[in-house]
Every structure is written in C-alpha cells, then in structure tokens.
C-alpha cells in the first residue's frame, strides 16, 4: 500500500488508463473522488505547467480525492474499495 499527498496548487496527476481499467466516481467524506480499478495503469506527476516531473510508473487499484484544503490524496492498494474508503475516512 502506498499513500501520497500533494498540494493541489503545485502538482497535477495524469492517469493513463488502459481499456481494462475503470474510473468509478466515489465520495470520501464530503469530497468527490475516483476509484481506479482493473488492469495496472500508469500515473505521471506534472507541475502546474503540465511538465512531467518523473517518468510514469505502473500502479494498482487507486483511490484519489482532493481534500477541503486542496491537497490531492492517493491511496494505492490491492484491497477492496470498502476497505480503502474506510482507511481514507480515518485519515480525515
């Protein structure tokens, strides 16, 4: 399991989803988020200008949302969505 937090003003996250990956809308607390599930997919971190900060890397199922203060939180975990949502709720 990997948990990352990034100030939303400084970073963008670009997902590259193959055909076998679904992007499912979810709610974390009062914040909208996404559950990316299925095939391994890529994540690329970008600066505010859209420049890649690192090469893409393969990731597993991921819950991503933006907190009230604009922080982008990502939990990469090979766990069921309900378990990952419970963890996310406990972090608030």
**60 contacts: CB under 8 Å, gap ≥ 6:** 40, 76, 77, 78
Domain that holds residue 21: 2-91
Identify the pLDDT of residue 13.
56
- Could you report how far apart the first and last alpha carbons of the chain are, in Å? 18
> Which CA distances in Å does 36 have to 2, 10, 61, 67?
14, 22, 5, 18
Identify the pLDDT of residue 10.
46
Question: Left if phi > 0, otherwise alpha if psi is -120 to 50, otherwise beta: which for 86?
Answer: alpha
Query: How many domains does the chain fold into?
Result: 1
Query: Is pTM beyond 0.95 here?
Result: no
pLDDT tens-digit map of 41-73: 677 777 777 777 766 666 788 898 889 888 889
């Amino acid at each position: 399991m990997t948990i990352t937090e990034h100030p939303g003003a400084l970073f963008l996250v670009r997902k590259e989803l193959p055909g076998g990956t679904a992007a499912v809308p979810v709610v974390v607390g009062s914040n909208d988020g996404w559950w990316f599930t299925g095939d391994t997919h890529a994540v690329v971190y970008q600066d505010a200008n859209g420049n890649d900060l690192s090469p893409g890397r393969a990731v597993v199922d991921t819950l991503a949302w933006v907190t009230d203060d604009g922080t982008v939180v990502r939990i990469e975990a090979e766990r069921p969505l309900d378990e990952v949502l419970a963890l996310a709720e406990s972090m608030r």
